[in-house]
A and B are shown apart, each in its own frame.
Chain A
Amino acid sequence: MLEIRNLHARLEDGREILKGIDLSVGDGEVHAIMGPNGSGKSTLAAVLAGREGYEVTEGSVSYRGRDLLEMPADERAREGIFLAFQYPVEIPGVNNTYFLRAALNAQRRHRGEPELDAGQFLRTVRAKLKVLDIGDDLLQRAVNVGFSGGEKKRNEIFQMAILEPRLAILDETDSGLDIDALRLVARGVNGLRTADRSIVMITHYQRLLDYIEPDRVHVLQDGRIVESGDKGLAGELERRGYGAFAEEPEPAGTA
């Protein structure tokens, strides 16, 4: 699904953030990328989604056999990549339903499928609303405007449910959520796990992984993956802290 090789990226001001990332995500796998603040987690998500303001200086990213870095952001999304934003953007005046239908229809056009009209679209989304406990009223409001932190994050996962991506990147989707909201979001994500959909979760805390069980866990430190392991690695991180991985990477489970 996703092959990242020796990925280096820097900000426009020249600061290098990613210093050689290697990561391979197979079909249907769920990977967690954990790391302290400033380790490059969100930069990795941004570079994969195609956000402007980052320059890839070295390395490659291949997505389903294609060079991902060649594609503009909107094409990546139409090819099945979904980024759940850490800070979903408020867009006054743009109705949530209108936005979602435009997004879904852009993807359907791309796949050569007929577009959905307003009625067809509403029928499609109604069922998915229930899973995430999202009210109808949220559909009629402007995108993320006046949404609580939890509503914004649920709205992200709701979008993921509608767009049915092949590869979802969840950027700190757990941040700012209380335990009930976290459970709802996790239920939403777990409901979307399939054999051909891969998920990359980026998180600071192990908490999310109690609800969404990853196949692989990676520790990101200073722009590099310094440790990879199974879900047990997350527990170890929780006990020992990121500091234990700062210098010489140790094999998992030695503590």
Chain B
Amino acid sequence: MSAVLDFPVKPEARDYLACFAADPNEPAWLGERRRQGITRFAELGWPTRRNESWRYFDVSRIDQMRPAKPPAAAGEDAARKRIDAVAFAGAGQRIVLIDGRFAPALSRIESRPGVWLGSTAEAIRKQPESARAVADTALPHDSEAFDALNAAFFSDGFVLHIGPGIAVEDPIEIVHLATGISEASLHTRSVVALDGGARATIIETYTGDEGRYWRNDLLAVRLGEAAELQRVVLVEEAAEAVHIDGVSASLGAKARFAEFVLLLGGRNVRHETSAILAGDAARCEIDGGFVVSGRDEANIVTTIDHAKPRGETRELVKGVAAGRAHGAFQGRIIVRPDAQKTDAHQLSRNLILGERAVIDTKPELEIYADDVKCSHGASVGDLDAAALFYLRARGIPEAEARRILVEGFVREAVEEIADPDLREHLLQRLQRRLAALEE
């Protein structure tokens, strides 16, 4: 980039600055946003462990990767095989993004009245009023660097916009497939906008073949009055991959955002949810968990900001760490002075298998209103010896008994998903992961 920056550029930003180039075919507002992004990133650099919400995450592995853009085309046959192996059979429509780019031949989009579904790139051309929200995702300050870098480099993404009162019953699946062909840096930026009373269920599946890559995906969720979004995030990245994804959600009055996050694979994996209950009596549910082993690392970071009265938050996050792995949950709930009658409950429960695994859990309530009901709980423990004996006393061999207990532990969170097919799909992915879990 030829721009002259009047501040010291962070060393880690130099390579990214060098390969930044505005696309003349993109609209001016987007070009401006991208320039803002790269400038901001040059100023911020990576978050450090002094940034509270990044203190449990090893950013240094990103630095070992190049900021290379992924190759334009990837083999569709290999991708198809991979998708068949991981995709949710119950999905109605499907968008496949290979290395951050829309793959129309592998996607399945139906045209429905009042519903717009497609790639971010296409939305920018054809549906700019829906796509504009890609410009104003707002992750909390600690994560601003990734937001900025993503704005500068995102290659594509998806946009779902549903008109007032329309319900899309069958789940929409987004498959984020990384081929790992080059040590790519993958950025997607997406939007889900549900107008008043609209309803949808989406499942975003992240999957990767072998190889080293790092990805940074952002989603903006905009829910109108009484709109309802169930979002599932399933992360099964390649063993050496770094995965960072974030969602910034804004909830209108009586809107409901129910998110389920399951982090099952990848070397360093971090999911962040930032939700603002901007309307009266909105409801936010965040459930899920992580399973880490080996030397892997997984973080779930949530910030729920109650800005208006009568909002509800429910969080149940289950963490499992084996081997020398490290897991962390950081959950912040803010209740603003206006947000009277807020009812928020957060529970972080964690299971450590073996001597060397570590889990950190850090609930944080910031309450500025006086008439609220807020609680949180956190626990870190071993498998229940009494339960283990109970299973063994029925003839179940020890290894199987342990697996049943670990599965049951995470399953409690999975049970929060209302759709039975989706629940079953996630249980199968979980079981598959646990079968490969060493202690």
Chain B interface (Cβ within 8 Å of chain A)?
A: 384-387, 389-398, 400-401, 404-405, 407-412, 415
Contact indicator B397/A106 (Cβ below 8 Å): yes
Report the number of A-B residue pairs with Cβ-Cβ less than 8 Å: 82
Please, how many residues of chain A have a CB less than 8 angstroms from a CB on the other chain?
31
Known: A74-B401, A103-B395. A52 touches B408 (CB 8 A): no
Contact indicator A93/B410 (Cβ below 8 Å): yes
Is the CB of A107 closer than 8 A to any CB of chain B?
yes
In Å, the complex CA distance between A51 and B388 comes to 10
In Å, the complex CA distance between A106 and B415 comes to 26
Contact indicator B386/A89 (Cβ below 8 Å): yes
Contact indicator A103/B396 (Cβ below 8 Å): yes
Chain A interface (Cβ within 8 Å of chain B)?
A: 49-52, 72-74, 77-78, 82-83, 85, 88-94, 98-100, 102-103, 106-107, 110, 142-143, 159, 163
List A contacts of B385 (CB < 8 A).
52
List A contacts of B395 (CB < 8 A).
74, 77-78, 103, 106-107, 110, 163
List B contacts of A93 (CB < 8 A).
407-412, 415
Contact indicator B404/A99 (Cβ below 8 Å): yes
Contact indicator B389/A51 (Cβ below 8 Å): yes
List B contacts of A102 (CB < 8 A).
391, 396, 400, 404
A92–chain B nearest beta-carbon distance, Å? 6
Q: Which of A52, A92, A107 contacts B389 (CB 8 A)?
A: A52
List A contacts of B408 (CB < 8 A).
91-94, 142
Name the 7 nearest CB pairs between A and B, nearest first: A93-B408, A77-B395, A94-B408, A103-B394, A93-B412, A74-B392, A89-B390
Contact indicator A91/B405 (Cβ below 8 Å): yes
List A contacts of B384 (CB < 8 A).
89, 91
In Å, the complex CA distance between A85 and B398 comes to 19
Contact indicator B387/A91 (Cβ below 8 Å): yes
B128–chain A nearest beta-carbon distance, Å? 46
Known: A102-B404, A106-B400. A73 touches B393 (CB 8 A): yes
Chain B residue at minimal CB-CB distance from A77: B395
In Å, the complex CA distance between A182 and B387 comes to 25
In Å, the complex CA distance between A78 and B415 comes to 31
15 contacts between A and B (CB under 8 A): A52-B389, A72-B392, A85-B393, A89-B384, A91-B384, A91-B391, A91-B408, A92-B408, A99-B391, A102-B400, A102-B404, A106-B395, A106-B396, A110-B395, A142-B408
